[in-house]
Amino acid sequence: MLKRLVSDALGLSDIGSVISPADYDKVDADDYVMHEDGEKIIFLIKSKTDEYCFTNLALIHVDGTSAVSKKRTLRRFDYSKHPIQNVALETAGTVDMDIEIKFGMGELSYSIDVNKKYIEELKDLYKALIKIGALQYENAERFQQAQQSLVTAANAVNRSTSAVSLEEQFKAVTSMPLTGCNRLVRATYVKTSARCSRNSSKTNAATSDNALKDKSPVLDSFCC
């Protein structure tokens, strides 16, 4: 107990260690990993008060108030919902005992102190967080482009007139290169034009339905 109080007073309880994969099952955070969904621990930092568990899906933070208290608060930040930003690595000076990894996770900011002997492991974590943040930004940009494509496809169908048949519009859309966003445009057009076809004559509806069945892409397989 006295040792823990001294650690708290000197700030030593906040200095973490990088846990090896062989010991992942010995930490508290492992109990909150969704193993049944294929989630697995990739990197783990543990101090006397906190655990920072980086999985392939999220950051799991087991937040403790002090080294002498067993009270813990669990927080989970999925990469799909919380963008990583402002990643920084602060190396140790001559008399420093620790190095520091800093990053933002959504609206929260983290600053994690780690024993300086783990500098090489922290360099790898730094690069991984930079990469994840870049992929999150790229996915957000593509999602925005996909939304714009949906609007464009819907407007194109709404502006259709008797001078241009649905079959001719379908051929124009299906001739576009199969980029990620064009797949989504095409899938949206197919669904919209199918609804329009059902309101036309039975002959035209039958013709449009056959063309759609043969050429429509599967939205579920879309991936920018």
149 inside domain: no
- The number of angstroms, rounded, from the C-alpha of 72 to the middle of its chain's C-alpha atoms is 26
Q: How is residue 224 written in tokens?
A: 């920018």
Task: Provide the 10 A C-beta neighbour count for residue 188.
Answer: 21
Residue 179's domain spans which residues?
160-221
- The answer to whether residue 208 scores a pLDDT higher than 50 is no
Average pLDDT (84-98) is 90
Domain boundary among 86, 106, 139: 139
- The answer to whether residue 200 scores a pLDDT higher than 80 is no
pLDDT at 211: 45
Over residues 15-45, the pLDDT tens digits come to 999 999 999 999 999 999 999 999 999 999 9
pLDDT at 97: 87
pLDDT at 54: 97
Amino acid sitting at position 119: I
Average pLDDT (111-134) is 95
CA dist 49 and 112 (Å) reads 12
Q: Domain with 95 in it: what CATH number? A: 2.30.29.50
Buried b (16+ CB within 10 A) or exposed e, 93-111: eeeeebbbbebbbeeeebe
- The answer to whether residue 61 scores a pLDDT higher than 90 is yes
Distances (CA, A) of 20 to 23, 27, 148, 210: 6, 11, 45, 58
pLDDT at 218: 38
CA dist 66 and 15 (Å) reads 12
Looking at the fold, whether 130 and 167 belong to one and the same domain comes out as: no
Distances (CA, A) of 132 to 95, 136, 184: 32, 6, 24
- The answer to whether residue 99 scores a pLDDT higher than 70 is yes
| Helical pair 202-215 and 180-198, crossing angle rounded to 10 deg | 160
CA dist 99 and 116 (Å) reads 5
Distances (CA, A) of 145 to 4, 77, 82, 141: 53, 25, 20, 6
Looking at the fold, whether 169 and 64 belong to one and the same domain comes out as: no
Edge-to-edge strand list for the sheet holding 108-115? 84-90, 98-105, 108-115
Over residues 66-87, the pLDDT tens digits come to 556 678 899 999 999 999 999 9
Looking at the fold, whether 128 and 169 belong to one and the same domain comes out as: no
Our count of domains for the chain comes to 2
Q: Which residues pair with 105 in a beta bridge?
A: 84, 108
152 inside domain: no
Average pLDDT (182-200) is 54
Looking at the fold, whether 210 and 110 belong to one and the same domain comes out as: no
Are β-strands 98-105 and 108-115 bridged in parallel, bridged antiparallel, or unpaired? Answer: antiparallel
Question: Residue 5's pLDDT band (boundaries 50, 70, 90)?
Answer: very low
HSE-up of 109 (CA within 13 Å, CB side)? Answer: 6
Buried b (16+ CB within 10 A) or exposed e, 19-35: beeeebeebebbebbee
